[in-house]
Amino acid sequence: MSLPGQNGQGPAPGPDTLKAAGRGPVGIVAGGGAFPAAVAEAVIAQGRDVLLLLIRGFADPALERYPHQWFRLGSLGSVTAMAKARGVRDVVMVGALTRPRVSDLGFDWTMLRLLPRIARLFRGGDNHLLSGVLGLVAEQGFNLVGAHEVAPGLLLPQGVLGARAPSAQDRQDMVRGLDVIRTLGPFDVGQGVIVVDGFVAAVEAAEGTDQMLARYGEMRRTGRLRFHAGRGVLVKAPKPGQDRRVDLPSLGPATVARAAEVGLGGIAFEAGGAIVPDVQALVAGADAAGLFIYGMDRSGPVSGQP
C-alpha cells in the first residue's frame, strides 16, 4: 500500500496549480521510500514551503532535513492541530505504508472518538482504507491534493522510455494484464500482474509488488513455471475508480532490478498513472538490465500503438 485531486479525469495540472491552491506550507504526510523527498523538492521548486509529517515506523529519518514533525498514525487530532497552527492548509499523502493493526495506532482523544469509523475502514481493501483516511483528514479542514498534482513531473509518460521496445507478444501481454487489473479493480485487489505469453502468472494482492515478483521468481526456480528468461511483463496500473490522491502505482530502480532478477522481459504501466522519484535512474537501470519500460495509453488497448 502506498500513499501518493483529480480522480483520474482530465489533464494533469500545470506547475502553477499549487501556488494558487493556498498559502502557507504544504503538509506532506510521509510514509516510507524516496517519494516524500521527491515531492518535497517539487513543492519547494514551485515556491511553497513544506512541513513534513513523518509517520513513525515508516518515514525515513533523513527527511528530518526538512521542517518536520513525527507522529503516530493514531494521533490525527494532535498532528492536524499542530499543522494548522503552522499555517498548513494543503496536504499531500505519499510514501509506502503497510496496513497497521488497529491496536498499534496509538490513539489520541480525537481518534478515540472516531474509533467505530476507523474500525469500519479496516474492513476492506487498501483503497477503502486510504480513501477513508482521506475523508477523516478532510474533515479536519484541509485541502487534499495528490502527489501527481503537486509534482506532475513524477508521472511516467506514454511510450517507450528506454533503449528497448516491447515485442508484439509483449504488447499482447500488456493488454491482458491491464484487462486483469481492470476486472479485479472493483474487488480492491492490487495494482500489479505478471503476464507471460498470454498466461497470467501472478496477481498482486496484499503482499505487494516486490513479494509478487519474489513469488514468481520462486515458481520459476522450482520449475512450477518453465518460462525462458527475458519473457513476460510486469503490468502496473491504478484500480478502476480508485482515488488517485492516494496509492498511485510507483516504480523505481529496485523494481526494475527485481523484475530482471526473476527473468521478466519488461515493465508496462498506465501512462500518467504511475509515479517515479527519478525517471533517469529508472531508465538507466532498465537499459543496463535489458528490460523495456513502456507507458500504455489509458484510453484503450496498446496492441496497435507504435
pLDDT score at 250: 85
Q: In which residue are the cell numbers 494532535 written?
A: 78
Please give the residue that has the higher pLDDT: either 32 or 294: 294
Q: What is the CA radius of gyration of the chain?
A: 19
Q: At what angle do helices 253-261 and 209-221 cross, to 10 degrees?
A: 20
Asked if domains 2-152 and 155-296 share a fold, the reply is no
pLDDT score at 32: 83
What is the dotted CATH code of the domain comprising 155-296? 3.40.140.80
- Residue 8 pLDDT exceeds 50: no
Question: Residue ranges per domain, the chain?
Answer: 2-152, 155-296
CATH class label, 2-152: alpha beta
Q: At what angle do helices 279-289 and 253-261 cross, to 10 degrees?
A: 20
32 SS3 class: strand
Q: Using alpha carbons, select from 76, 82, 30, 77 the residue that is nearest to residue 56.
A: 30
pLDDT score at 100: 59
**How confident is residue 192, by pLDDT bands cut at 50, 70 and 90?**
very high
Angstrom distance (rounded) from CA 138 to CA 130: 12
Please give the residue that has the higher pLDDT: either 224 or 127: 224
Contact in structure between 68 and 54 (CB atoms under 8 Å): yes
pTM of the model: 0.77
Q: Which three cell numbers stand for residue 244?
A: 488517485
Tell me the DSSP string of 152-191. Answer: GGGB--SEE-SS----HHHHHHHHHHHHHHHHHGGGT--S
At 134-158, the pLDDT tens digits run: 666 677 788 888 888 888 889 999 9
**How confident is residue 2, by pLDDT bands cut at 50, 70 and 90?**
very low
What is the chain's percent helix, strand, coil content, to nearest 5?
40, 20, 40
At 230-264, the pLDDT tens digits run: 999 999 998 887 777 776 788 888 899 999 999 99
